[in-house]
Structure 1
Amino acid sequence: MFVIGWVIPDTIEWAHCFVYDIDVSEHLLHGKPVSDEQVQAWADEAEAGYDLADLPAPRRGRPPVGEGPGTVVPVRLDQETIAALTRRANKEGLATRSDAIRAAVREWAHRA
């Protein structure tokens, strides 16, 4: 358990206190379990070093979602719709709710 906080100057009282209880007994990658052996293999690979020429070039910002820059469109959804969206996204292997919303809007928009 980690406790993070800071003190008010000249006092011993906590101004803010955040408590994090982090369970690292199960390693997950994109929601799927990763074995201790795989984690160790990745650690060994990192410790051996990487050839910088083989690494992808760093990109600025978020990945593109189509041609050109994307536009943020805020949408409010009720909890029932969000739950259904999450279930469908998991069933179809979509990584994020945003991916699921984009897929649903594309499907709806392209039907005549």
Structure 2
Amino acid sequence: MAENESIDGVPVTEEQIEAWTAEAEHGFDVDALKKRGRGRPGRGAAASQVIALRLTPDEVAALDARAAREHKTRSELIREALTALDA
């Protein structure tokens, strides 16, 4: 192993590599692995769709400034704006 190898800033030890090797050689529970969620959690019962949106640098700066002021994400602000269209 190369010196100073790390995962998320945590050094990887020879003992950790040996434990991973033993786990892999023993075999994995495939059913347990399939049960793990992948990606971000859903927002409701129906599947969500990702939509690409092009914004100018000024629009992104305005969105980010408002998001910081309101302690929200870009997505939250955009969803709120869309909801406001129905009001």
* Greater fraction helix: 2
Higher relative strand content: 1
Greater RCO (CA < 8 Å, at least 6 residues apart): 1
TM-score (norm: length of structure 2): 0.49
TM-score (norm 1): 0.40
